[in-house]
Amino acid sequence: MKLWRFSLRYLSRNLWQTILLIVGIMLGVAVVVAIDFSNASAKIALDLSTQSLIGKSTHQIIAANGGLDEKLFVDLKNSGKLKISSPIVEGYISIPSWQNQAVHLLGVDPLLDYQMRDIYGQNTTVLPQLLSTFAKPMQAILSKGLAESHNLSIGQSLPIEFEGKNFILKIAGIIDSQDPLVRRSLEGLIIMDISSAQEILGQIGLLDRVDIRLVNDLEKTELEAVLPEGTYLVPSNQQNIQVNQMVSAFQINLTALSLLALVVGMFLIYNTMTFSVVHRRELIGYYRSFGFYRREIFMMIIFEALIIAILGTVSGVVLGILLGRQTIGLILQTINDLYFVTTVSEVGLPISSLIKGLILGIIATVAVSLPPAWEATRVTPHNASIRSGLEQKTSTSLNRLLILAVFLLIVAGILLAVPIFSSLWWAFAATFFIVVAFSLLTSVLLKFALPAVALVVKHYFGLIAGMAVRELHRSLSRTAIAISSLMVAISVTMGMTIMIESFRNTVDIWLKETLVGNIYLSVPNQFSNQSNAVIEPEVSSQILENPAIASWTSLSTIYQNTSAGEIQINVISNDKIAYERLFVSTVIPEEKIWTAMQNGSVLLSEPLARRLDLSAGDILELDSSKGPVSLSIAAVFYDYASNQGHLLIAKDFYESHWKAAGITALSLNVHDGIDVPTVVNDLIKLNQTQSQKLVIRDNKTLQRDALGVFDRTFRVTDALRFIATIISIIGIVSAVLLILYDRKREFGILKAIGLSSSELWRLILTETGLMGFFAGIFAIPTGYVVSLILVYIINLRSFGWTIQFQFSWIYILQTLLIAWVASLVAGIFPILAINKMEIIEVIRNE
């Protein structure tokens, strides 16, 4: 006889239970796959986007502050110091007719660039032709994918926008490659002649960089020797590495959160499998008395788990891919918002995500089924029908559980506190241990608390309610697992909620504190919140003539390359800056900060200070064309605009050491009593007649827009929280269903001895409601601890942001409500079923 047939029969007999299990695994696996898939895709997109930038170059020459004088390139080239080299002028333009899609405009000299990039094909005779195409202004070459997806063909024109200025490109060529990697790196790319690129991007006389291919170290040393002050020779992949490092923290965060969702799912599987074994003790006893070996019983349970695992995991992977397709857009958007503009969006499906999902889902399911499978082998024909034996065992193992819980908490504490475990993964491992420890403690506490609770409940709510509590206590072997599983599910959801809400609240306060001007002006930039696009002086001076404006301050954003990577520098003219920032630490009193800044003190945002490992009072050195300048750090302030961070420097001081930078944003204050929206409308009307379009917003709109970016960043996290909630609801429903199903007979007897329908309702609903309630109660401290770790450790390590922890009872009520309502709802179906049952049928076996 084949025992696996029993397994299949058991699964199909308990179809609802099986389906719930499959759905539970499916959702858990789907979340992991979706996040992994979209993370992997985002990484490929990022790599491809940077690869088209790097080409075959080994190094790049860049200038400390952006523009490299083109004459430097000509001098180096004409003196024979540069061999294979290609000057690049590039930027991100948007295409209004494609919903303002970001497109990377790569300005090259094809005659120099063909040795650098694989995009020109093998036949070099295309080059003179290419140059004749490029000789005409505004002629552009599009990737085939880009052209096809927008139904464009050669000869058509394409209107584009850059920093509020409009241009019309003519599509003079289509570029394609047989190499799939090259082809994808071309996606989202418009190639133009370097001359047209300079004209569109306003970079006359300047290069963004020179790509070079160095053959040996000698060439490198020789080149370094002739590079003037303020220019650097850096490895080409440096930027890629930097971007990857920053993005990976964000991605690990998401992966770990998705794994937490899977953990929730696993708890539920463990719960269900354990229950199904407990439920079948008698049956297993019969199998044993028929002569089946323990080994066979073990395999039977594992086989069951495997069937569920395969069905759940495979459908989870499919769902994960579907979800991932949606998620990737969100993740890329966040990466664009926070780190780097990616132009590749359609990437293939990373097979590794599928395999990871399959292995993880199946192994995890089978692994959590091992304890119940072992449990099943312990059943002997003799003790099969005696539950008390099982309950007895549960009590004695409580001590062991307590010890294990304490041990896990100690390990978690070490992982969080000891500096060598500073990687994000350790922090998540610690979170996992803490969650497990709390779930173990839940079982222990229930054991001790339930009898007392029973007394109280009986006293206040009557016999039936007291019976319900005692019933929970009596059947602790099953209910403890169910309640602690639910607790885990709820606490993780709660922890994530508190983290997100704290974060949002912090950002909200920060925005209000920071954005104190009435009206803000900047150059439109859809793809990044770190624009350094310059407002044309004639445009701003015309706007500033408006009589309603009482005062204004300017901000110039520039990027300076340093040995520690690129640093964003905000040059400000705002003498009240010290009152518009919240400081992490200062070494100078607020009222003296501006004076100090006039003399070379600077303010660092928290993420930058963290990245450079500097604090208030330290010295930061920046290169200028006259040599290095020492800047003392007056204060470190909270900032959530980016996780790369920036520094604030006074305009007068900056301009005495560096070339004056163009204004990138203006903050206006209007005279008292003047209606701000009216002024905004006037300015917008004026701007419509000007050569450069600006974004003109009052501070409320700007705050709202900034929060919009924030919400976008957390949309994935939100989605994860939502799925975790769904999984926990499924868990609650299936756990309650199982327990009630198991006690069908008991309810039959109760009915037989005269329990009325409404009393049965009360009994069952109290029981299930209590399960939800206890899960919710124990979830509060767990969720609280999880959120503390997420806020103070994981977010700080991922983004460099200190979030103000915000604990609100609303979230707790919300969590409790979800747990409670779900368990109540779960009780309804079995009651309906039991009420329909003929008593005689139920107790026939007795």
The least CB distance from residue 313 to another protein, in Å, is: 10
The least CB distance from residue 691 to another protein, in Å, is: 15
Q: Rule CB under 8 A: is residue 396 a binding residue for another protein?
A: no
Beta carbon nearer to another protein, 130 or 398: 130
Copy the structure tokens of residue 187: 């996606």
The least CB distance from residue 21 to another protein, in Å, is: 14
The least CB distance from residue 147 to another protein, in Å, is: 10
Q: Which segment (348-356, 560-568, 739-747, 813-821) binds another protein by CB under 8 A?
A: 348-356
- What distance lies between CA 285 and its chain's CA centroid? 49
Among the listed residues 488, 421, 477, the one whose alpha carbon sits nearest the alpha carbon of residue 450? 477
Q: Other CB atoms closer than 10 Å to residue 36's CB: what's the count?
A: 24
Q: Which segment (190-198, 241-249, 613-621, 752-760) binds another protein by CB under 8 A?
A: 190-198
Residue 359 host element (H or E): helix 351-377
Copy the structure tokens of residue 694: 């600006």
Copy the structure tokens of residue 142: 């599009």
For residues 230 and 625, the answer to whether their CB atoms sit within 8 Å is yes
- Give dist(CA 137, CA 721) in Å, integer: 51
For residues 803 and 795, the answer to whether their CB atoms sit within 8 Å is yes
Q: Which residue do the tokens 């008390």 mark?
A: 388
Q: Rule CB under 8 A: is residue 172 a binding residue for another protein?
A: yes
Q: Rule CB under 8 A: is residue 573 a binding residue for another protein?
A: no
The least CB distance from residue 347 to another protein, in Å, is: 8
Residues with Cβ < 8 Å from 105, sequence gap 6 or more?
A: 90, 91, 92, 93, 160, 162, 190, 192, 197, 200, 201
Q: Which segment (125-133, 217-225, 440-448, 531-539) binds another protein by CB under 8 A?
A: 125-133
Would residue 493 be called left, alpha or beta, if left means φ above 0 and alpha means ψ between -120 and 50 degrees? alpha
Q: Rule CB under 8 A: is residue 144 a binding residue for another protein?
A: yes
The least CB distance from residue 845 to another protein, in Å, is: 23
Q: Rule CB under 8 A: is residue 283 a binding residue for another protein?
A: no
Q: Rule CB under 8 A: is residue 226 a binding residue for another protein?
A: no
- Give dist(CA 243, CA 248) in Å, integer: 8
Q: Rule CB under 8 A: is residue 497 a binding residue for another protein?
A: no
How many residues touch another protein under the rule CB under 8 A: the total is 68
Question: Strand 68-69 and strand 206-207: pairing?
Answer: antiparallel
Q: Rule CB under 8 A: is residue 51 a binding residue for another protein?
A: no
Q: Which amino acid is at 405?
A: A
The least CB distance from residue 734 to another protein, in Å, is: 19
Longest dimension (CA), the chain: 105
The least CB distance from residue 28 to another protein, in Å, is: 16
The least CB distance from residue 643 to another protein, in Å, is: 32
Beta carbon nearer to another protein, 71 or 400: 71
Q: Which segment (198-206, 453-461, 486-494, 796-804) binds another protein by CB under 8 A?
A: 198-206
Structure letter (DSSP) for residue 277? H
Q: Rule CB under 8 A: is residue 130 a binding residue for another protein?
A: yes
3-state secondary structure of 441: helix
Helices of type H across 386-423:
387-417
Exactly one of 16, 97, 131, 418 binds another protein (CB under 8 A); that residue is 131
Q: Rule CB under 8 A: is residue 69 a binding residue for another protein?
A: no
Residues 70-99 that bind another protein (CB under 8 A): 70-71, 74, 77-80
Exactly one of 222, 229, 346, 652 binds another protein (CB under 8 A); that residue is 346
Q: Which residue do the tokens 């409670």 mark?
A: 820
Q: Rule CB under 8 A: is residue 691 a binding residue for another protein?
A: no
Q: Rule CB under 8 A: is residue 3 a binding residue for another protein?
A: no
Q: Rule CB under 8 A: is residue 67 a binding residue for another protein?
A: no
Residues with Cβ < 8 Å from 2, sequence gap 6 or more?
A: none
The least CB distance from residue 823 to another protein, in Å, is: 30
Q: Which segment (176-184, 335-343, 411-419, 426-434) binds another protein by CB under 8 A?
A: 176-184
The least CB distance from residue 97 to another protein, in Å, is: 21
- What distance lies between CA 383 and its chain's CA centroid? 51
For residues 720 and 730, the answer to whether their CB atoms sit within 8 Å is no
Exactly one of 16, 97, 154, 363 binds another protein (CB under 8 A); that residue is 154
Copy the structure tokens of residue 363: 């192994």
For residues 519 and 699, the answer to whether their CB atoms sit within 8 Å is yes
Exactly one of 122, 216, 388, 630 binds another protein (CB under 8 A); that residue is 122
The least CB distance from residue 210 to another protein, in Å, is: 13
Q: Rule CB under 8 A: is residue 121 a binding residue for another protein?
A: yes
The least CB distance from residue 530 to another protein, in Å, is: 27
The Cβ-side half-sphere exposure at 358, using a 13 Å CA radius, reads 8
Copy the structure tokens of residue 525: 């930039």
Q: Which segment (8-16, 370-378, 512-520, 698-706) binds another protein by CB under 8 A?
A: 8-16
For residues 441 and 269, the answer to whether their CB atoms sit within 8 Å is no
Q: Which segment (54-62, 139-147, 227-235, 700-708) binds another protein by CB under 8 A?
A: 139-147
Exactly one of 106, 194, 596, 842 binds another protein (CB under 8 A); that residue is 194
Exactly one of 99, 178, 388, 758 binds another protein (CB under 8 A); that residue is 178
Structure letter (DSSP) for residue 118? G
For residues 317 and 29, the answer to whether their CB atoms sit within 8 Å is yes
Q: Rule CB under 8 A: is residue 193 a binding residue for another protein?
A: yes
Q: Rule CB under 8 A: is residue 198 a binding residue for another protein?
A: yes
For residues 331 and 42, the answer to whether their CB atoms sit within 8 Å is yes
Exactly one of 349, 406, 414, 456 binds another protein (CB under 8 A); that residue is 349
For residues 667 and 519, the answer to whether their CB atoms sit within 8 Å is yes
The least CB distance from residue 9 to another protein, in Å, is: 5
Exactly one of 2, 12, 563, 753 binds another protein (CB under 8 A); that residue is 12
Residue 495 host element (H or E): helix 476-514
Structure letter (DSSP) for residue 66? B
The least CB distance from residue 786 to another protein, in Å, is: 33
Exactly one of 99, 125, 216, 396 binds another protein (CB under 8 A); that residue is 125
Q: Rule CB under 8 A: is residue 176 a binding residue for another protein?
A: yes
The least CB distance from residue 513 to another protein, in Å, is: 43
- Give dist(CA 194, CA 201) in Å, integer: 10
The least CB distance from residue 211 to another protein, in Å, is: 16
Among the listed residues 229, 217, 314, 307, the one whose alpha carbon sits nearest the alpha carbon of residue 269? 307
Residues with Cβ < 8 Å from 426, sequence gap 6 or more?
A: 415, 416
Residues 299-318 that bind another protein (CB under 8 A): 307, 310-311, 314-315, 317-318
Q: Rule CB under 8 A: is residue 175 a binding residue for another protein?
A: yes
The least CB distance from residue 626 to another protein, in Å, is: 27
Cα dihedral: 776, 779, 783, 784 (round 10): 90
Beta carbon nearer to another protein, 180 or 419: 180
Exactly one of 137, 381, 600, 617 binds another protein (CB under 8 A); that residue is 137
- Give dist(CA 26, CA 275) in Å, integer: 20
3-state secondary structure of 567: strand
The crossing angle, in degrees rounded to 10, of helices 715-742 and 699-713 is 50
The CA distances from residue 677 to 156, 541, 674, 685, in Å, are: 41, 20, 9, 12
Task: Using CB under 8 A, list all residues that contact another protein.
Answer: 5, 8-9, 11-12, 70-71, 74, 77-80, 109, 111-112, 119-133, 135, 137, 139, 141, 144, 154-155, 171-178, 180, 193-196, 198-199, 204-205, 307, 310-311, 314-315, 317-318, 321-322, 346, 348-349, 351, 354
